[in-house]
Amino acid sequence: MAIRILFVSTGGICRAPMAVGALRTIVRCAGLADSFEIDGAATYGGYTDQPPSPLAIEAAGRRGYAIDDLKARPLAAADMAHFDYPLAMDRTHLAAMRWLAPSGLTERPQMFMWYAPALGVRDIQDPFGGTNEDFERALDLIEAGCAGLLRRLQTALIGARR
């Protein structure tokens, strides 16, 4: 059974698709692609069905993450039940996710950066409208979060295979 991960950002065109691309690549390189379902969603539906922003595609591409095939989609209440790890890029997303979550699942959504506690960062700032450097900074944090998340989940995967 696959571990289901959902990255949630504001418009679904910057942080969430960069995280989807990063984690998909990382788990593929680790030989674990079949063990994961990875998706992204947005708390704001204004970019529904739109591709990631050009600067997000460029930043991700420089690091080997192909995200140009992704499309933004709105977050749904059912996502909190379907995904094992619905992860918020910032506190506003976490609040929206918990508000939307069905009864009994309000604690399931978590902050993505909790998986990189050594950085002391809670929110990944939205690079939308910013510079290449803003996207690179966001991607640095996303990579750290993905590495920490994978370390945590590899332990669970090893235990499940025994």
pLDDT given at position 154: 85
Helix axes 132-161, 54-62, angle to 10 degrees: 60
What pTM does this model have? 0.96
Each domain of the chain, given as residue ranges in start order, spans 3-161
Helices and strands of the chain, counted as H and E runs: 5, 4
- pLDDT tier at 161 (50, 70, 90 boundaries)? low
pLDDT given at position 78: 97
Q: Show Cβ contacts of residue 37 under 8 Å, excluding neighbours closer than 6 positions.
A: 2, 3, 4, 5, 83
- pLDDT tier at 155 (50, 70, 90 boundaries)? confident
- 138: pLDDT strictly greater than 70: yes
In angstroms, rounded to a whole number, what is the distance separating the alpha carbons of residues 106 and 99? 7
Q: Which amino acid is at 132?
A: N
What does the mean pLDDT of the chain come to?
Answer: 95
Q: What pLDDT, in 10s, does the model give residues 71-115?
A: 999 999 999 999 999 999 999 999 999 999 999 999 999 999 999
What's the CATH code, domain 3-161? 3.40.50.2300
Cβ-contact 53, 14 below 8 angstroms = yes
pLDDT given at position 158: 66
Mean pLDDT confidence for 26-36: 94
Q: What share of the chain has pLDDT > 70, as a percent?
A: 97
- pLDDT tier at 159 (50, 70, 90 boundaries)? low
